[in-house]
């Protein structure tokens, strides 16, 4: 997989989009995720975090039949839940970036993201934090530390 581009998030939806990519890439080829991405983006209203956070059970049922997306009910439901947490943490901390930076360092951030969000494992969290421009350890060091566990 090529090194992902970093972004400067300008809205909550930017965080939701990168997190959603991490959710889908867990256990699924990144090539499959990339090929479906335009449809996923459209189905999730360009990752408008507030709109996604209000997705109904019926709308989730409809998404499970939508060929534009990867039709995994648990992951689709996780995206809605993650949108709700992003919106909630944004409100609680006066900005989602402030939430991310409320931890001492990368090592302290990982378990909290794991606790707050669904389908976010260590690799997904590393990817998410890297892409949204947060401080992460160099990839080779992080990867080596993961192998020793």
The answer for residues whose C-beta is within 8 angstroms of residue 74's C-beta and 6 or more apart is 119
Q: How far apart are CA 73 and CA 148, in angstroms?
A: 33
Asked if 25 and 128 count as a contact pair (C-beta separation under 8 A), the reply is no
pTM score of the predicted model = 0.95
Q: How far apart are CA 11 and CA 55, in angstroms?
A: 19
Q: How far apart are CA 102 and CA 99, in angstroms?
A: 5
Residue 61 lies in a domain: yes
Asked if 4 and 131 count as a contact pair (C-beta separation under 8 A), the reply is yes
Residue 11's nearest CA partner among 110, 83, 81 is 83
| Total structural domains within the chain | 1
Residue 2 lies in a domain: no
Express each pLDDT in 41-51 by its tens digit.
999 999 999 99
Express each pLDDT in 22-67 by its tens digit.
999 988 998 999 999 999 999 999 999 999 999 999 999 999 999 9
Residue 128 lies in a domain: yes
Residue 54 lies in a domain: yes
Residue 18 lies in a domain: yes
CATH, residue 31? 1.10.340.30
Residue 4 lies in a domain: no
End-to-end CA distance of the chain: 23
The two three-digit tokens of residue 25, written as one number: 């890439």
Domain of residue 56, residue span: 12-147
Express each pLDDT in 83-98 by its tens digit.
999 999 999 999 999 9
Residue 82 lies in a domain: yes
Residue 135 lies in a domain: yes
């Amino acid at each position: 997989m090529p090194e992902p581009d970093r972004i400067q998030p300008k809205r909550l939806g930017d965080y939701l989009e990168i997190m959603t990519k991490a959710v889908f890439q867990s256990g699924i080829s990144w090539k499959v995720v990339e090929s479906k991405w335009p449809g996923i983006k459209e189905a999730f209203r360009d990752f408008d975090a507030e709109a996604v956070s209000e997705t109904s059970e019926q709308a989730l049922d409809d998404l499970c039949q939508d060929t534009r997306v990867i039709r995994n009910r648990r992951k689709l439901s996780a995206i809605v839940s993650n949108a709700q947490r992003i919106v909630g943490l944004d409100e609680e901390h006066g900005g989602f970036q402030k939430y991310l930076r409320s931890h001492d360092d990368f090592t302290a951030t990982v378990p909290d993201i794991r606790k707050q969000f669904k389908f976010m494992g260590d690799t997904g969290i590393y990817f998410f934090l890297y892409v949204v421009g947060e401080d992460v350890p160099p990839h080779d060091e992080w990867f080596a530390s993961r192998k020793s566990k």
